[in-house]
Amino acid sequence: MIHDLPACLARWIAPVVVALASTLPVLAHAHEHAPEVVNPHGDHQHDTRELSAADFRNPPANLVLWGTLAKTYVARKNGGVFTATFPPAVRSLDGKRVTLVGFVTQVRDRQPNRQFLVSATPILCTHCTHPDPAAIVEVNTKRPFAGSNEPVRVRGTLQLVTDAPNALVYRLNDSDVVTKF
């Protein structure tokens, strides 16, 4: 569960979510010559793949789109706990078996494991654009999963988390992962 996430993830995810609203691109200094292009990732690059129509072919009846979840309002209260206000369309999904399509981010060093994050966009590094808190779901699976660089479908019982210490306001429990669809 959320409180079981490693301390390193808890320290990482909360500031990332808070920084979302204040993240600004780094601007190059004005020079007479063309500005130097700086890789914001330092010495590494990332695949910037996004979800596409192909990722949603043959959708199951219980598929929930990220746009539905994104309608949730997440705010930080005094004391650092995040609180979520869920619209009726999202509240109606609480306790229901749903399917999401997204990118996996492992939260533990060992693999495979039974807990990870899934999001509408890849969560890659502190220099990358991070998803909104309403676009990240904690997934707890029935069987260990090694991860994937491609989008996956996860099916499980959606739990809404009103007061989330780590800004993770959605939890998908008793989940299965489908990598080929």
Whether 43 has a pLDDT exceeding 70, the answer reads no
Evaluate whether residue 28 is within a structural domain.
Answer: no
d(CA 77, CA 89): 24
Q: Is residue 11 part of a domain?
A: yes
Q: What share of the chain is helix, strand, coil (3-state, %, to 5)?
A: 20, 30, 50
Say if residue 160's pLDDT is above 80.
Answer: yes
Q: Which helix (H) or strand (E) holds 68?
A: helix 66-69
Segment among 36-40, 81-85, 107-111 with least mean pLDDT: 36-40
Would you say residue 107 has pLDDT above 60?
A: yes
Q: Give the mean pLDDT of 59-78.
A: 91
pTM: 0.71
Q: For residue 138, tell me if it sits in a domain.
A: yes
Looking at the structure of the chain, the number of domains it has is 1
Pairing of strands 113-119, 136-145: antiparallel
Which CATH number goes with the domain that contains 59?
2.40.50.870
The reported pLDDT for the residue numbered 57 is 84
pLDDT category, 161, cuts 50, 70, 90?
Answer: very high
**Domain membership flag for residue 153:** yes
Sheet of 82-85, strand order: 73-76, 82-85, 163-164
Structural domain span for residue 99: 2-22+47-178
Domain-located, residue 33 = no
| CA atoms of 175 and 142, how far apart (whole Å) | 6
In a domain, 69, yes or no: yes
Q: Is residue 35 part of a domain?
A: no
What is the DSSP track for 24-65?
A: -PPPPPP-SSPPPP--TTTT---------GGGGSS--TTB--
Q: Does the residue 135 lie in any domain?
A: yes
- Quote the longest CA-to-CA distance of the chain: 60
